[in-house]
Amino acid sequence: MKAHDGMYIDGAWQPAAGKDTIPVVNPADDQVIAHVPAGTAADIDTAVRAARAAFAGWASAPPAERAARIGALRDVLVARKDEIAETVTAELGSPLPFSQVVHAGVPIAVAGSYAELAAQYSFEERLGNSTVLLEPVGVVGAITPWNYPLHQIVAKVAPALAAGCTVVLKPAEDTPLVAQLFAEAVHEAGLPAGVFNLVTGLGPVAGQALAEHDGVDLISFTGSTAVGRQIGAIAGAAVKPVALELGGKSANVILPSADLAKAVNVGVANVMSNSGQTCSAWTRMLVHADQYDEAVELAVAAAHKYGDRIGPVVNAKQQARVHGYIEKGVAEGARLVAGGPEAPREQGCFVSPTVFADVTPDMTIAQEEIFGPVLSLLKYEDEDDALRIANGTVYGLAGAVWAGDEAEAVAFARRMDTGQVDINGGRFNPLAPFGGYKQSGVGRELGPHGLGEYLQTKSLQF
Ligand code: NAD
C-alpha cells in the first residue's frame, strides 16, 4: 500500500528525524502492507513549533473562512471515500462494506457537521454587563486509537480547527495509513501550513513526547483507560486541559415490555460490528429472568449469522487478549453458548463471535472491557436489580434501553450512570455529545459540546 516515509509538518511531507520504521500489518492475512516512520521527540518538537507558529493566523481567521476550509476538507474526504475504505480495510481488517459505510461514511458526516457548526457557532455571548469571548485554547495534541481510526481523528481535528486551534496528531501505530491519507486531504483542502501536523510513531515514544510537550496547550486523547490515566496525570502536573475518551462496558437493558427478538438481534449486531472493537459496544445484555432462556436462544442464533461475516481483530496481541478473556469466562463459570477461545481460521487474527450465558455481575467478563466479539447475557429479577447491574462497573460510556413504551425506557435511562443511551435502537447522531461518566473519560466529543472543548472564555466587563 502507498505510504509516506516522512511526517506531514508545516504543510509539507518532511523527513523523519530518526531512521526507525513501524510495519503496518493486515490482520486479515498477517501480511506486512507498508512501513511508516517511527517518530521521536524531535519530530514532535518540530510539529509543535509549526502548530504554534500557525496558531495566531488561524485563530484570527474569520469563522466563515475556517468553516469553508473544513467544508473543503469534507469534500476531499467524499471524493476519496473509496480509497479511505480500502485503506482502513487493509490496515484494520474490517470488511469492505463496513469500511465504506462506517469508517469512511461517519467521518464525512462529522466533518460536514463541523463545517456547518463553525459557520453558525456564536464565539461571543452577552451576559449582563459582560461580553464573553470564546477563544481557541491554542495548540492541540491529539492522540487517537485504531478502532475507528479516521472517525477518531476527525472527531478531534474538525472541532479543533473550527474553534481556531492548530493540531499535532499522533495516530495509533496499527492504523497510520488512513492518518496519512487524512493529512493529504488536509493539504488538498488548502488549510494553511502548520494548522494540521501529523507525526506517526509509537505511543510511549511519540505519544508521550506530545503529551509532555510544553508547547501543547490541550491534550485530547482517545484510547485505553490505563494510558488515559497517565495522560491525565501529565496534563494535571502541567495544569493544562485534557479530554479523555476511554473504555466502556455498556449495558443493553431489555425491559420485559420490549420487543425481545428485535432487542436481542440489534444488541448482538451492535457487539459483533467492527469485530467487537467499539468502545461504546453494549457488551452486557441484561434480560429479565422470565425471558432469559428465550433471549439466550435468540442471541445464539443471531451470533451464528456473523460466523463468516466478521472481520479479524486488529492484531495478534489483541486476538490473544480476547481469547484469554473467553478462557477466563469459562474458568469463572459462565456458560459458553456460541464461539469460543479457538481461532476459527489458520491465517489472520480472527475471533469467533462468542456468547456467554449465566454471566454474573462480579465475573471478569462482566467487568472488564474485552474489545472483541464477545457478548455476556446477565439475568435480572426486577428494574432495581437491572439498574444495579447496569451501573455496577467503573465505566459509563454508553448503553441501550428497550421497552414497549418509549417513556418507560426514558425513565430507566435517566437512572443510568452513562454518557449516551440509545432508546429502542435509536440512530447515531453526529451532533449528540459523546463521552463518558466515571472512568470512561473526561470531556465530550461531537457537535457543539465537542467544539466547546477547544474553547476558553474571556469575560469583558462594561
Ligand atoms: P491505547 O491506549 O493503547 O492507545 C491509544 C493511543 O495512545 C495510540 O495512539 C497509542 O499509540 C497511544 N499511546 C499508547 N501509550 C501511550 C503513552 N504512554 N503516552 C502517550 N500515548 C500513548 O488504546 P488502544 O488499544 O489503541 O485502543 C483501544 C482503547 O481505546 C479501548 O480501551 C477503547 O475503549 C478505547 N476507545 C475509547 C473511545 C471513546 O471515545 N471513549 C473510542 C475508541 C476507543
Q: Tell me which DSSP letter residue 301 carries.
A: H
In this predicted structure, what is the pLDDT of residue 308? 82
DSSP string, 215-243: T-SEEEEES-HHHHHHHHHHHHHHT--EE
* Domain CATH for 104: 3.40.605.10
DSSP readout, 166-205?
EEEEE--TT--HHHHHHHHHHHHTTPPTTSEEE----III
Range of the domain at 386: 251-429
Element (H, E) at 401: strand 399-402
Residue nearest to atom 14 of ligand 1 (CA): 203
**Is the same domain home to 374 and 242?**
no
Ligand 1 nearest atom to the CA of residue 397, by list position: 41
- Backbone Cα Rg of the chain: 22
What distances in angstroms separate CA 95 from CA 25, 41, 347, 348, one per listed residue? 15, 35, 16, 13
Cβ-in-10-Å burial (0-12, 13-18, 19+) of 403 comes to: buried
Note whether residue 435 is domain-resident. Answer: no
Catalytic residue among 86, 91, 245, 408: 245
What is the model's pLDDT at position 171?
99
Write down the pTM of the prediction.
Answer: 0.98
Whether 454 and 332 share a structural domain: no
Based on the domain organization, do 275 and 408 belong to the same domain?
yes
Kindly state if the Cβ of 419 falls inside 6 Å of ligand 1: no
pLDDT tens string for the chain (462 positions)? 999 999 999 999 999 999 999 999 999 999 999 999 999 999 999 999 999 999 999 999 999 999 999 999 999 999 999 999 999 999 999 999 999 999 999 999 999 999 999 999 999 999 999 999 999 999 999 999 999 999 999 999 999 999 999 999 999 999 999 999 999 999 999 999 999 999 999 999 999 999 999 999 999 999 999 999 999 999 999 999 999 999 999 999 999 999 999 999 999 999 999 999 999 999 999 999 999 999 999 999 999 999 888 999 999 999 999 999 999 999 999 999 999 999 999 999 999 999 999 999 999 999 999 999 999 999 999 999 999 999 999 999 999 999 999 999 999 999 999 999 999 999 999 999 999 999 999 999 999 999 999 999 999 999
Nearest of 157, 231, 204 to residue 8 by alpha carbon: 157
Q: Do 224 and 85 share a structural domain?
A: yes
Phi and psi of 74, rounded to 5°? -60, -45
Give the CATH number, domain containing residue 342: 3.40.309.10
Q: Is 245 a catalytic residue?
A: yes
Same domain, 386 and 296: yes
Our answer on whether the CB atom of 372 is closer than 6 Å to any ligand 1 atom is no
User: What CA–CA distance (Å, rounded) separates 136 from 163?
Assistant: 5
What grid cell was written down for 115? 463545517
In this structure, what C-alpha cell is assigned to residue 3? 505510504
Q: Are 266 and 155 in a shared domain?
A: no
* 73 occurs within a structural domain: yes
Tell me if 100 CB under 6 Å of ligand 1.
Answer: no
Residue 271 lies in a domain: yes
Distance set, CA 155 to CA 117, 366, 371, 380, 444 (Å): 13, 29, 20, 36, 10
Residues 147 and 284 in one domain: no
What confidence score (pLDDT) does residue 307 get?
85
Count of structural domains within the chain: 2
Alpha carbons 83 and 382: distance in angstroms, whole number = 49
The reported pLDDT for the residue numbered 169 is 99
> Any long-range contacts for 94-99 (C-beta under 8 Å, 24+ apart)?
94/274, 94/275, 94/311, 95/309, 95/310, 95/311, 98/273, 98/274, 98/311
Residue 349 bears catalytic tag: no
Spatial neighbors of 13 by CB under 8 A, at least 6 apart, are 4, 6, 7
Residues 6+ apart with CB under 8 A from 101: none
Of all protein residues, the one whose alpha carbon is nearest to atom 16 of ligand 1 is 203
Do residue 104 and residue 187 come from a single domain?
Answer: yes
Cα diameter, the chain: 72
Within this chain, do residues 163 and 37 fall inside the same structural domain, yes or no?
yes
Same domain flag for 257 and 216? no
Altogether, the residues listed in the chain come to a count of 462
| Cα(247) to centroid(ligand 1), Å | 9
Do 314 and 397 reside in the same domain of the chain? Answer: yes
105 lines ligand 1 (CB under 6 A): no
- What is the rounded CA–CA span in Å between residue 274 and residue 194? 33
Nearest alpha carbon, ligand 1 atom 12: 203
- φ, ψ dihedrals at 196, nearest 5°: -130, 135
Say how far apart CA 156 and CA 144 lie, in whole Å: 9
425 occurs within a structural domain: yes
Is residue 133, in this structure, part of any structural domain at all?
Answer: yes
**What are the cell numbers at 293?**
432462556
- Minimum CA distance residue for ligand 1 atom 36: 223
Residue nearest to atom 32 of ligand 1 (CA): 224
Q: Which atom of ligand 1 is nearest to the CA of 144?
A: 9
Domain assignment present for residue 12? The answer is yes
User: Is 213 within the bounds of a domain?
Assistant: yes
Q: Which of 91, 279, 445, 453 is catalytic?
A: 279
Whether 329 and 356 map to the same domain: the answer is yes
Tell me whether residue 434 is in a domain: no
